[in-house]
Structure 1
């Protein structure tokens, strides 16, 4: 009886939904027990071995830092039948970047893994080009993404705006770079350009169109508000049970499904494989679960075969081919 009363103190109801107490700290036994006591659609655990400082520090604390201009057109796809369950990493097995989990606790922000990873997935699916995401992220980070940089944000929209204006290059690394800033003038013989692409970005404003985009082209980049309970996610279909807002995170949505009557999105995080379902998570397929954030962003590529007139580029445009 005493145990029941203690657990009950952690929980209260608002508008028919159950929430844990605001005072519970992430990745503690207390918050894990409170979440699991709700007997909801997912299970909590201490995914990061009890340390929460690094993970919380990787979140962007205010909406001001990630609000993007709504200048991407909305995309409407044609009508076709959608499956009940879809996992793009299983559909396109040769595109290994789709099912790869990266670890932003190395010091790189979530937007760079999400944006680079989404482009890598879609380049592979539509054009058969395999990108080394880790190498690309590392080079971009050395160029213009320090831990205190303006670019250390959750603003995938800002990244896609830049690439839609300047384009991207698929390149082969011929030797290690030792010169920054990186440019043709600085190191003309260290890379070999294989392809140049122009980008077309679009926002997606409903779940049916999002499913269609993933079915046709692969992963989609998305924003998500993070609350204290989410850090403790271990398995199942996540449904928010906390009001303690921590910040914003970017992730790739790679599919969807239904479990025990609950519809969900399948997403790839960037906190390593020790978190969640080996780095992946499933979140209830309802708009409010992502919070008050911009719409997911999809991108398509227009290959430009004649690259002889390309005279300048920066490291933020270079996507390194997998060896």
Structure 2
């Protein structure tokens, strides 16, 4: 899919449902579900994920990299947040633009291989832009359709931790903190619109690692802090 400016898309072109996994099947990073374990690294994981996705999408699948969330956590430092104690996805995207981020993945994926031909500096990938999104649903949809998955920051309550399926909307439980996730699409079920989202709590949580959250009501502040950016190819 060729990248075009979001304003080139008319509201009438937005489908009832959209799934980035189906739109860009040549990009294997999009469906991957990660596990942040006991580290509050969601901000770095979600940012690394959309950078990986958007490099693949913008290059038509010719460039496929697993961008390192650990590199963001380790190197962005206080400019992005506080490592495993939380951080800011927009600051992480800005770091990607100004300082670059290297490749890498989980230790189990054997991403650290002996004889890798590039130095740390040579392995860096840079962004062209980093930006926050409008809260308007149609603007968010156009951004995803045009350039790929985005990061959403939102408020987590106790009932979200207990989510096991369906369309989530906050009803009960105390506030637990902020969380960042990757939004890959949207849909509608029995008249209720939702966002389709990859979480980073492994595949035994939610709907095989994903969740759906009500769309258009800014539930838990979900539509208020969305972040994206474009890669420099």
- TM superposition score normalised by structure 2: 0.80
Q: How far does the alpha carbon of each residue in 1:32-74 deviate from its partner, in whole angstroms, 9 at most, with x for none? A: xxxxxxxxxxxxxxxxxxxxxxxxxxxxxxxxxxxxxxxxxxx
Matched, 1:105 2:37: yes
SS in 2 for 1:193: coil
Q: Which residue of 2 aligns with 1:252?
A: 182
SS in 1 for 2:8: coil
Structure 2 unaligned segments of length 5 or more: list them: 105-110
Counterpart-to-counterpart distance in 2, 1:93 and 1:193: 28
Q: Which residue of 2 aligns with 1:116?
A: 48
Matched, 1:131 2:61: no
Counterpart-to-counterpart distance in 2, 1:221 and 1:200: 14
Instruction: Select the residue among 164, 184, 195 that pairs with 1:234.
Output: 164
Q: How far does the alpha carbon of each residue in 1:58-95 deviate from its partner, in whole angstroms, 9 at most, with x for none? A: xxxxxxxxxxxxxxxxx962333011110001221121
- Higher strand fraction: Structure 1 or Structure 2? 1
Counterpart-to-counterpart distance in 2, 1:115 and 1:106: 18
Q: 1:224 to 1:204 in 2, by over 3 A?
A: same
Question: What is the RMSD computed on CA atoms of the aligned residues?
Answer: 2.9
Q: 1:76 to 1:137 in 2, by over 3 A?
A: closer
SS in 2 for 1:202: strand
Matched, 1:156 2:56: no
Larger-Rg structure: 1
Q: How many residues align?
A: 214
Structure 1 unaligned segments of length 5 or more: list them: 1-74, 178-187, 304-323
Q: Which residue of 2 aligns with 1:45?
A: none
What is the deviation of 1:150?
A: 1.8
What is the deviation of 1:237?
A: 0.6
What is the deviation of 1:204?
A: 1.4
Q: 1:137 to 1:93 in 2, by over 3 A?
A: same
